[in-house]
Amino acid sequence: MERPWFEDLVHLALISRFQGTTLIEIFDVDAETQELAAVSEIPQSNFIAQKGLIIKEEYDNNGVNYREGIYRDYYLQMGGDWDLGMLNQLAMIVLAKKLGLGSWMSYVDKYGIPPIFAITDRMDTGRRDELFEMLSNFRQNMFAVLQGNEKIEVPRISETNPHNVFLSLIDDVCNKEISKRVLGGTASTDEQAYVGSAEVQERVAQDRYEADKLLFKYIFNTKIRQRLVKISPLYKDFDKCTLEWNNQETLSINGYIDAVQKLSNSYEFDFEEIRQRTGLPIVGTKELLQAYKPPVEAIAPTHPSLKKKDKTAGAGLTFAQPNAQTELPFAATWDAATEQLVEQIWNGTLQAADLNRDLVLKYYSGLNKAAKNGWGKGYYDSNLTRSFRENLLKFSGAKSYVLIEKMIAGKEMFADKEAFANQAKKMINLHNETYQTVEERFAANAASSAVVFQQFQQDADLYPNLIFRTMGDGDVRPEHAANEGVIKPIGQWTQIPPLDYNCRCKLEQTNEKPNDRDITVKNETVANNAAMTGQVFIKKHSYFRAVPKTDKRAVFGNAELMKKYMPYNNAKKIGDKTVFISDFADLKDLQDNIKAAELLAKELNKDVYIRYHIIPGNVKGEKNPELGIETPNKLYDLKTYRPVVEGKNVPVKNFVKNSLCTLQKQGASGVLDFSGYNGNKANLKSEISKSLSENIRSRVNVKNIIVAFDAKAYKISRKQILANDFSNFME
């Protein structure tokens, strides 16, 4: 894309804002390189936007259709069929300015030196001729020789200052009106502008610039990218990529040095690049004593002095559950969370297995976002990616455990709290930034490889085998270079790129025959095929292995409870209400839950939340009501009636009774879904009313019941049931 055609494409896409409907031809491909050679504009006289036709002569009514058929991928229309652009708005102003300039030049030509009158009392022709010649040369000579009572007068032509009239037209009206429309403000080119005004204009211009970038990004990603993929195989990878502008600012030398100084505790820098960018004669580095500096995989075993105790799942988690959101509930600032964590560890009030909410959620948030970016569209719609999220949550819990454990062990090395806090913050920053960056990059790579591998599986009838490819440059690791050209059937690829952190290798489809070679894997703790295992980070990973058997239940149980704070990234509008779906909703009953939630949102006119699901084996005694109505914390459990289960008929009264018992255990109200009931509505009402009255009177304490039947939702309260008031029920 670093080619002249790309610059021309940006120009043509943006110029359409000014000139209106613009037709861009993306056609000229170099036969040898398969690169796009040029893009060009079809003159407005040679296409009819309203018909979608390219015409040869401007008077033609018939031509070639550029919206349908074989040419649709080679042409891109910018703007609407009747779009006249910003120049249409400016036309009157520009014409006024042009006429004003013309009038002023005519005025200067006529009145640059105003009319001159010679007054004399002599009547002879000779003197008049002398005065006439004198005035004719007055512009050059600028003097006159007069006699007797003769004099020269310059009359006052108008009381109005023509200069101010001109400036008012040109500057106050035309220039400012043009500037408003093009730049979004006035006075941006005024040399006498105040500093504050100039800063405002700079921000306005930057806003326009960013708006242009956003417009072209949208156009490229939604229209141009797909065309490039179709017109040349060179751009096939664009199908899996999107355009993003690089908004990174260029630092000054002082700013660059300051950034290196601040980040040097956590990151390593290329000293040769620092020398080149700053001009400083760097000859070496000093060795600094650090209490903690392991590589990513060098995780030590659990500290033996940690006192073990029987931890119940959920220890230390006393935070309120947030409402539906797309951001995780971190502490007000990360520095404040770090201070709190250091304080708890120094005072001995936090054990590693208790975990720390902010640590776990910060790790998970970054990893999940990276996996989502690597996967692309449909990340929250796939069963496989749901498995990814379960894995990333456990990984985040294990990572939090490892960090807290090491901080507890390291506390013994320090005599005072301040020294411990300083070193602990470096350790936290190392995990939160340096390690996290590497792990997020791996998660994105693994998710991307998984979605591509699924595509390979779909094409297995055409390309049954995959071949291993490296980038082929000097940065390829020797163990990865050894795998170049390995060909195996799709089903045998149990380990696929990324084979290690920052791995750039890939697989390609092929119908070549498999060879006898097998791949070489150096880092068995991360090498995996996430598309097969459903895991981004496998159990061999050092974080998982660092959790001892005695702490596994507490660690992963507490990590499981973090689902209470997870966002609802999936949402569906039902009228003016919304059905929110948790990132950790139960997949087993998800379709039933969505169907019921949509009905409830419509009938009750309330937002409905399909809540998170705690895996029963991970946390003892945790309840899982599926729905929240109005807020996630107004709990309702969905019970779906099925007339026949395992070949046996299920009476309505038995279903209601069993459902009420379950609701009592869960401490939730209930939604009884009878959409599968095929009998008479009156009989159903009678059976439900009788069963509700009998069971709630006797032993069941349930607040509200909602019955869904025949695309309707009927709400009945405990008070009504106790009063045997079913008069408006199911009416």
Interior/surface letters 314-348, b for 16+ CB within 10 angstroms, e for the rest = bbbeeeeebebeeebbebeeeeebbeebbebbbee
Q: At what angle do helices 271-278 and 253-263 cross, to 10 degrees?
A: 150
Task: Please state the pTM of the whole predicted model.
Answer: 0.56
Q: Give me the pLDDT at residue 477, please.
A: 92
Place of tokens 């299920």: 650
Residue type, 102: G
Beta-strand ranges (E) seen in 9-159 are: 22-29, 36-42, 47-48, 53-54, 64-65, 75-78, 117-119, 151-153
Question: What percent of the chain lies above the pLDDT cut of 70?
Answer: 84
> Phi/psi class of residue 667: alpha, beta or left (left: φ > 0; alpha: ψ in -120 to 50)?
left
Q: Give me the pLDDT at residue 83, please.
A: 87
Q: Are 382 and 328 in contact (CB under 8 A)?
A: no
Q: Provide φ and ψ at 515, rounded to 5°.
A: -105, 175
Which letter does DSSP use for residue 431 in this model? I
- If you average pLDDT over every residue of the chain, what do you get? 82
SS3 state of residue 326: coil
Which residues on neighbouring strands pair with residue 507, listed in sequence order? Answer: 468
Q: What is the pLDDT of residues 412-469, one digit of tens each?
A: 888 888 888 888 888 888 888 888 999 999 999 999 999 999 999 999 988 999 999 9
Question: What percent of the chain lies above the pLDDT cut of 90?
Answer: 29
Query: Who has greater pLDDT, 326 or 501?
Result: 501
Q: How confident is the model at residue 320 (pLDDT cuts 50, 70, 90)?
A: very low
Radius of gyration of the chain (CA): 39
46, with CB counted inside 10 A (0-12, 13-18, 19+), is: middle
Residue of 392, 427, 411, 434 lying closest to 544 (CA atoms): 392
Q: Rounded distance, CA 431 to CA 408, Å? A: 15
By residue count, the chain amounts to 731
Other beta carbons less than 10 A from residue 563's beta carbon: 23
Q: State yes or no: pLDDT of 321 exceeds 60.
A: no
Q: Rounded distance, CA 272 to CA 269, Å? A: 9
Q: Are 162 and 100 in contact (CB under 8 A)?
A: no
Q: Rounded distance, CA 679 to CA 667, Å? A: 31
* CB neighbour list of residue 607: distance below 8 Å, 6 or more residues apart: 324, 577, 578, 579, 580, 601, 629, 630, 631
Q: Rounded distance, CA 125 to CA 1, Å? A: 83
SS3 state of residue 201: helix
Which letter does DSSP use for residue 168 in this model? I
Domains of the chain: 1-83+212-248 (no CATH), 116-153 (no CATH), 295-565 (no CATH), 568-722 (3.40.1350.120)
DSSP 80-122: -TT--HHHHHHHHHHHHHHHHHHHHHHHHHHHSS---EEE-S-
Q: What is the pLDDT of residues 249-279, one digit of tens each?
A: 666 677 777 776 656 555 556 666 777 777 7
Q: State yes or no: pLDDT of 370 exceeds 70.
A: yes
Q: How confident is the model at residue 21 (pLDDT cuts 50, 70, 90)?
A: very high
Q: What is the pLDDT of residues 457-512, one digit of tens each?
A: 999 988 999 999 999 888 899 999 999 999 999 999 999 999 999 999 999 999 89
Q: State yes or no: pLDDT of 187 exceeds 80.
A: no
Q: State yes or no: pLDDT of 111 exceeds 80.
A: no
Q: Rounded distance, CA 50 to CA 58, Å? A: 14
Please give the C-alpha separations between residue 504 and each of 368, 461, 528, in angstroms, as whole numbers. Answer: 20, 27, 15
Over residues 276-296, the mean pLDDT reads: 50
